[in-house]
Chain A
């Protein structure tokens, strides 16, 4: 018995050691392989998908540019934590995108300034105007990173409303004969009358007129509507009153009170989902996926991808269950700014080159090459003939089969190579016809609409969600968006402390206020708790930042 046991242990250790030896031999990375292709490393403090080492388009790009990129993504940490541990560990990749923690990297002195390379590499320079580049300058006057998103080349091509709105199902509008819905009251009147006339769906599922997600950070679904209802854009944490150049707290405006009072009234009447306050995100998505929820307030990206997939699979899209956005305001005749036409330049985060990079010039050259139209098309459209076709007018399009293939994760990992956190363009391609990225190609968009949506678009005479919501087309001021500042506040200032406390209070009280049998007293209690969090400290710091940004 004893001999047997020891033999087992011995064998096990030997085999483990051998496996280990094997594994250790498996990989040893060289920055430059025999064929002269450089491999850069990159860490992005956002979750993402690793592409395979033998990815096809990655290799095509490598042949054309002489370099490839090995990306690593955030897993199980926050961006600040990840960057904090990387700094403490002292080992850096060649490229880094630190999310909201870029300042820590700058403070640690490990980033390479871009200034000299911008002159050398025109594609990079072209990304932003001089004023925009200036906004990236740190206190030593140099540029250390560039945001890669929300950057439009040529004409804006957005078709979806990738922002917040009060959404309503196409079937409700169709039933009512496509009325103009402009105010919060009209919206709920319509939901009520539809639900009264149609208590259930065709399959017998009970309709839920309205729900609101309150889970964790996603509670913006219930929280931030007052700023939009007052006709302001999504500054996120405050309203900026452009007449007086003052920040205004949208949580305490008369509109906020009217909005929550309306929700309370609808809740008491039984038109608001009884589980709105306790549902999890998964439950919310599952609920929307049944097609039974007539309306809600949400960001498009928070629900649409999952829910639309299910609708399509279940044939609910043909029953008019898809959601369309309404640009509601609190009163009739106000402008709405739900849709943001301009690029939102978040200059607090972006891609940077680190001092650990062995060939810094090559790193900048690589980023420059990635913006060449040919490479850009490879990154986002793929290989012509395989991933997209070109029609007689030079327009790119995908067959249904190609669309399916390009959405398959295995295909993406082995074939597609977005380099999605490297500099990139939205908007119109340099050929003046196509969109830089397939999801902005108008023909691709219209082809994919269900019949009820096409009828609805015809009835309102629009051809995109953006037209439908009818927001004012304007460039917000240079301070926009204010949330980029509140997001970077820390507990070192009283404003930062107040900001967290305000969030905690709202998180607890907003659902309570909606559910309260006596709205007035609940609202007063909420206001007492809210004021105890010292919102004035927060607002004062926001005001200072606003004045700094506006150059006052």
Chain B
């Protein structure tokens, strides 16, 4: 860091009146709408029954957590969630950045607009539509198998959904397919703030296309990338349930079940609100640990950080 931060003086604080008042509003708002409902976490330590309400339900201590962590299925489910969360994170992240940068390299404004408009559309399709098409494409008579057989890569069709080792990549692909264009919007907005003088200077230095991407575009995107990365690291346990639920089947159950599916199976269908809350708390705690960790690493290496 070049400029050592000066201590904030009282004079400055007096000047921050406007900021302080607004900040106070945002804190009150946040407490009311985000922190007060956390009182509901008490449900995780109860046998919550709607009739008894939050305050009258029987207190059971750590029993719900014990139930979760004594079930070996739950541990396997954590593994699946983490694996798919990380895979999705890496895949969607890389693709969105690559896509944004490559799109930015297109000189034809019309083509650029068309590509961008088309790319974000799948975001609006529900998972059931996307997985339906994917199921079609990957079935034994689908286009993928047809191509594999035609080009002699395989001698007979593969049943992609019967083999557990294909499942995680298929889920990652589905996420990339649906969200790349949408996720790229943030990067495209960030690219607009890059000072054109930087490109000119790079051209003068004899940089080619790659050079400019590498030395101008990417470094300028770095703050956005870092912030999104840190935020999304907190979300790796939110690998979702819909896509896994819709693509999964009995044969791949051991790799397809996520924490959310587990919570649905045990919590919702068995009317056990407390168990779902306990799983939610676990996810929150992990998420907060992860972002603190990521933030700490970012701070140590002098990168942009969240707080």
Any A CB within 8 A of the CB of B251: yes
Tell me if A490 is interfacial: C-beta within 8 Å of chain B: yes
Kindly state whether residue B132 has any CB partner on chain A within 8 Å: yes
B159 touches A275 (CB 8 A): yes
Q: Is there contact, CB below 8 Å, between B266 and A277?
A: no
Provide the residues of chain A in CB contact with B270, threshold 8 Å: 489-491, 496, 500
- Specify which of A108, A504, A510 is in contact with B51 (CB 8 Å cutoff): A108
Whether A78 contacts B49 in the complex (CB less than 8 A), given A215-B249, A278-B251, A508-B250, comes out as no
What CA separation (Å) do A509 and B249 show in the bound complex?
11
Chain B residues with CB under 8 Å of A216's CB are 245
Contact with A along B244-282 (1 / 0, CB 8 A): 011001110110000000000110111111010000000
Chain B residues within an 8 Å CB radius of A507: 250, 253
For the complex, what is the distance from the CA of A215 to the CA of B246, rounded to whole Å?
Answer: 9
- Asked if A274 and B250 make an inter-chain contact with CB atoms under 8 angstroms apart, the answer reads no
Q: Is the interface of A mostly helix, strand, loop or mixed?
A: helix
A280 within 8 A of B: yes
Q: State A463–B10 Cα separation when bound (angstroms).
A: 95
Q: Which residue of B lies closest to A283 (CB)?
A: B135
Interface string of A267-279 (1 = CB under 8 A from B): 0000000110110
Among B246, B251, B266, which residue has its beta carbon within 8 angstroms of that of A511?
B251
Contact of B268 among A80, A107, A108, A274 (CB under 8 A): A80
Beta-carbon contact of A78 and B51 below 8 Å: no
A490 touching B254, Cβ below 8 Å: no
A274 touching B140 by the CB < 8 A rule? yes
The one of A104, A277, A496, A500 that contacts B162, using a Cβ cutoff of 8 Å:
A277
Do B250 and A108 touch (CB < 8 A)? no
Size range of the chain B interface in the assembly: 20 to 34
A101 at the interface (CB under 8 A from B): yes
Residues of B within 8 A of A492 (CB): 47, 272
Chain B residues with CB below 8 A from A107, complex form: 49-51
**A262 within 8 A of partner (CB):** no
Contact A504 B265 (CB under 8 A): yes
Is B73's CB within 8 Å of the partner chain A? yes
A504: chain B residues within 8 A (beta carbon): 73, 253, 265
**Which residues of chain A have C-beta atoms less than 8 A from B162's C-beta?**
277-278, 515
Tell whether, in the assembled complex, residue A280 and residue B135 are in contact, meaning their CB atoms are under 8 Å apart. yes
Whether A81 lies near B249 (C-beta < 8 A) is no
Nearest to A286 among chain B residues (CB) is: B136
Q: Mark A79-100, 1 if CB is under 8 A from B, else 0.
A: 0110110011000000000000
Asked whether any CB of chain B lies closer than 8 Å to the CB of A21, the reply is no
Residue numbers in A under 8 Å from B139 (CB-CB): 275, 283
Q: Give 19 new A-B contacts, CB below 8 A, not counting A504-B73, A515-B162.
A: A78-B269, A80-B268, A80-B271, A81-B268, A88-B50, A104-B49, A107-B51, A108-B51, A214-B249, A215-B249, A216-B245, A219-B250, A282-B132, A491-B272, A504-B253, A507-B250, A508-B250, A509-B250, A512-B250
Interface of B toward A, CB cutoff 8 Å: 47, 49-51, 53, 67, 73, 132, 135, 139-140, 159, 161-162, 245-246, 249-251, 253-254, 265-266, 268-273, 275
Residue positions of A touching B, CB distance < 8 A: 78, 80-81, 83-84, 87-88, 101, 104, 107-109, 214-216, 219, 274-275, 277-278, 280, 282-283, 489-492, 496, 500, 504, 507-512, 515
Question: Would you mind naming 6 contact pairs between A and B with Cβ atoms under 8 Å apart?
Answer: A80-B269, A84-B50, A104-B50, A219-B250, A282-B132, A500-B265
